[in-house]
Amino acid sequence: MKWLYLIVCVFFITSSCYQPKRDCKAFKNGTFTFTSMINNEEKTTTFVRYDNIEIDFYEGKSDTSSVRWINDCEYIVKKLNPRNIAEEKSIHMKIQTTTDSSYTFEYGIVGETNKSLGTVLKIK
């Protein structure tokens, strides 16, 4: 019985120390895709990021945003040429986990509490 108790304790101690992989620096530059559901329709955005600039390609149109890195895993995106009030708002992005070719992130408008999750795939 003592051995069983010891094994259970060791399991909980080692599993509680698990940290998800976060190699955020690998995603500061490159070409990426992000797919989301808009009005029950799957939409894909492709974007190219060069450290402090991001160019989005969506439905045949391109748009450029500034990227301000807070740390290796968090950054703020702000459209350079917003077309309406909603596009003037900055978006806070926080990378939660990474793989070799993708990352999962949390995002939301700066100053608001509502957050969403998404996954980005690095294609180059």
pLDDT at position 87, please? Answer: 84
What's 18-49 look like in SS3?
A: CCCCCCHHHHCEEEEEEEEEECCEEEEEEEEE
Domain ranges for the chain = 23-122
pLDDT tens for the chain, 124 residues long, are: 555 555 654 555 555 555 666 788 999 999 999 887 778 888 888 999 998 999 999 888 899 999 999 999 999 999 998 889 888 899 999 999 999 999 999 999 998 899 988 899 999 8
The predicted pLDDT at position 4 comes to 52
For 113: left if phi > 0, alpha if psi spans -120 to 50, otherwise beta; the answer is alpha
End-to-end Cα distance, the chain? 54
Taking Cα atoms as reference points, which of 104, 49, 107, 34 lies closest to residue 76? 107
Do 11 and 3 form a contact (C-beta atoms < 8 A)? no
CA distance 46 to 99: 19
One CATH from 3.40.50.2000, 2.40.128.380, 1.10.1660.10, 3.30.420.240 for 23-122: 2.40.128.380
What is the pLDDT at residue 2? Answer: 55
pLDDT at residue 40, rounded to an integer = 86
What does the pLDDT read at residue 51?
83
